[in-house]
Amino acid sequence: MASPVRVGAVSYLNAKPLYYRLEEFAPEARLEMEVPSRLAERLAAGELDVALIPSVEYLRGASRGYEILPGFAIGARGPVRSVKLFSKVPAAAIDRLALDAGSRTSQALVQVWLEARHGVRPSRIEPLPLGVSALESTADAVLVIGDRAMKVPEGPFHEVVDLAAAWRELTGLPFVFALWVVRRGADLGDVPEALARCRAEGLEHADELARIHGPRLGLDFRTCYDYLTRVLSYDLGEPELAGLRRFAAMAARLGLAPEGVNLVFHRPRDLATRR
């Protein structure tokens, strides 16, 4: 039997359609779930063959020979609901910023947005550990992502900013949070084709995913269903690539990603081996 293909997927609700019934469609796949920052570390360490990593980590790892699986992303064209900055002070006064330790892309996005929109570069940046809630932090503002961001009460804060909405307002472009990225030299077998099937069938069965995961997360069916089918976008087309390139340039200017990284795409096996 061929050796297993180690697939790392984001453990949040937003990624569920992307690996729906994966191990059935590709029996060689061995699925592991982690928060995004951890997936990036494990792909870099060679412990995964393909993983849904934060887009900024593709930029940071490109020199290792990372390749993007074309056509897929976790992105948003407007408000995303699960990537939020909870601020106790007006954005222009943020000096101490806590960043969700599960994130990498949104950690960079919030700094890009603060600088571009408000001319602010917080002098103290600290992690918000995974088990610690935004309400417990004493920082001026706290970035929270994923399922838990959808449940933080908006009450005690001066301002709550949906960062995908803020990005759209700033640039007019969609935002790409995560990409399927392949480790150099990994043999993925039929996994890329299976992932395309997962996404198609996962979105077709979004009602089933919302029914299963809503109660577990304390979210009602409608909120989950809308999040999966209308709020998030799973495409990586020209508008998303334009958003990604703009983000790459802005992150590089702040020293949060290397300069001038090319987007390199993984080629399907038949094309890669032909000739």
Ligand X SMILES: C=C(O[C@@H]1C=C(C(=O)O)C=C[C@H]1O)C(=O)O
Residues within the interface to ligand X (CB under 6 A)? 10, 12, 14-15, 36, 54, 74, 80, 82-83, 103-106, 145-146, 177-178
For residue 273, with 0-12 CB atoms within 10 Å meaning exposed, 13-18 middle and 19 or more buried, which class applies?
exposed
Distance from chain centroid for Cα 196: 18
- Minimum separation from the CB atom of position 269 to ligand X (A): 27
182/189 with CB nearer ligand X: 182
CA nearest 167: which of 259, 75, 236? Answer: 75
- Minimum separation from the CB atom of position 273 to ligand X (A): 31
Evaluate whether 195 touches 68 at the Cβ level (below 8 Å): no
- Give the containing element (helix H, strand E) for 125: strand 124-128
Q: What's the DSSP call for residue 48?
A: -
74/195 with CB nearer ligand X: 74
- Minimum separation from the CB atom of position 200 to ligand X (A): 19
- Minimum separation from the CB atom of position 150 to ligand X (A): 8
- Give the C-alpha separation, 192 to 266, whole Å: 10
CA nearest 194: which of 42, 7, 1? Answer: 7
36/122 with CB nearer ligand X: 36
- Minimum separation from the CB atom of position 29 to ligand X (A): 19
83/91 with CB nearer ligand X: 83
Q: How many Å is the Cα radius of gyration of the chain? A: 18
87/189 with CB nearer ligand X: 87
